[in-house]
Structure 1
Amino acid sequence: MKKLSTSSRILLLLAVFTLIPAYFTPLWQISLWAPQYPEGLNMKIWIDHLSGNVDQINGVNHYIGMKHIGVEMFPEFIYLKYVIGAMIGLGLVFFLIGKKWSLYSFLSLLTLFGIAILVDMYRWGYEYGHELDPKAAIKVEGMSYQPPLIGYKQLLNFLAYSGPDTGSWILMGGVGLLMLALFLDWKGKGAPKHT
């Protein structure tokens, strides 16, 4: 199997390093704006906890029957740090192997991880927005309050936004580095010398 060029291997290693900030930066954010909250309410989702205006968001959502947002809603917090740790370990193994298939494998791994996160966020948002308390103070017939997966959505008098935060943008940069490595390898730049 063909060896990777030196430049492609370096880009692979840099892509592995882009997983490390996931431990120290928020991965996702959800924000709400309304006339009574012109400055907005913001919740950040990290690898193992939540931060931001979680209590205020819970207070507002209580009136329309939405579940209380808490760490217990995210079983992913228990194992996500280990999943990312395993991906870093595999990435380093792929870097040491230095074959073309190892680059494709790591790109596939990151891509599948990203898709799994999006599917999981959609599932959480769907359940959170549709499973409402029938005894809620405010009920609007046929209305659900599922936040957008990515982008903006009007929910009653609130404008909701959901999207990647710092850690996810860095991870996407890692995928970009891998795409660049594939391109360089395809173009044959920096091909290894045969001994």
Structure 2
Amino acid sequence: MKKASILMIIGSLFLLGLFVFPLWNIMLGAPQYPEPLGMNIHIDGIKGFNEFDIQNIDGLNHYIGMKTIPKPEEMWEFSTFPLVIAAMVFLGVLIGVLGYFKKVSYKWFLGWFVFMSVLGVLGMYDFNAWMTDYGTNLDPHAIMKIANPDGTPMTYKPPLFGNAKMLNFDVTSLPDTGAWLMFIGMSLTVIAFFVGKKSAKSIS
């Protein structure tokens, strides 16, 4: 059980990487931009991949009526998500420590994983809802109004995952370092569950 508990503690601590590295990355490439424009989505705000990317993206978006990229104080998520992640790290470490001293069973490790997974799904849903609003709720007085072949207004929602073509831009949206660290950490907590389960069976 001690080995399982240590894995649980280490897995939980991997989530601290979200405070350092971006969770998601969106890149926009076009022939007129030798260097693609990009946004790094952190748990506490959105930053440009390069120094002036946010300003350049906002400038392009202005012509087609998209809102400016929100600042941290303009979205409740950017103040809430860091608190949620900090709480889950604390809870995971606490469960690991209690497991080390045999105060809780290995089943708590799986419980933490399930809870974190639910929070992750809710976070992705919220992120996708924001991108949908960002790409479809356009200013009717925009300089450029581009319609689909059927006459409906074109939308500019970035893909949640993968690649999409928007006008002359190739847009790629993929998990970044923070997301992969979170994935590794959560995987370690699942391994901790099975190691703890195996240890409990060997004792019994």
Fold agreement, TM-score > 0.5? yes
1:57 and 2:61 correspond: no
Distance 1:81 1:58 in 2: 25
> C-alpha displacement at 1:193, in angstroms?
5.1
Q: Deviations over 1:93-127 (max 9, x none)?
A: 21123112211111112211211121011101100
> C-alpha displacement at 1:70, in angstroms?
2.2
Aligned to 1:77: 78
Alignment of 1:109-120 (within 5 A): 109-120=115-126
Alignment of 1:29-108 (within 5 A): 29-52=25-48, 53-71=53-71, 72-98=73-99, 99-108=105-114
Which range moves more in the overlay, 32-41 or 45-54? 45-54
1:15 and 2:15 correspond: no
Structure 2 letter corresponding to 1:168: A
Is the alpha carbon distance of 1:20 and 1:191 closer, same or farther for their aligned partners in structure 2, counting shifts above 3 Å?
farther
Structure 2 letter corresponding to 1:109: F
Distance 1:78 1:175 in 2: 23
Structure 1 letter corresponding to 2:128: Y
Alignment length (residue pairs): 189
User: Residue 146 of structure 1 is aligned with which of 157, 160, 167?
Assistant: 157
**Normalising by the residue count of structure 2, what TM-score does the alignment of the two structures yield?**
0.85
Give me the identity figure in percent. Answer: 37
Q: Which runs of 5+ in 2 are unaligned?
A: 100-104
**Normalising by the residue count of structure 1, what TM-score does the alignment of the two structures yield?**
0.89
Contact 2:43 2:78 in 1 (8 A): yes
- Per the alignment, in what secondary structure is the counterpart of residue 133 of structure 1? coil
Q: Which runs of 5+ in 1 are unaligned?
A: none
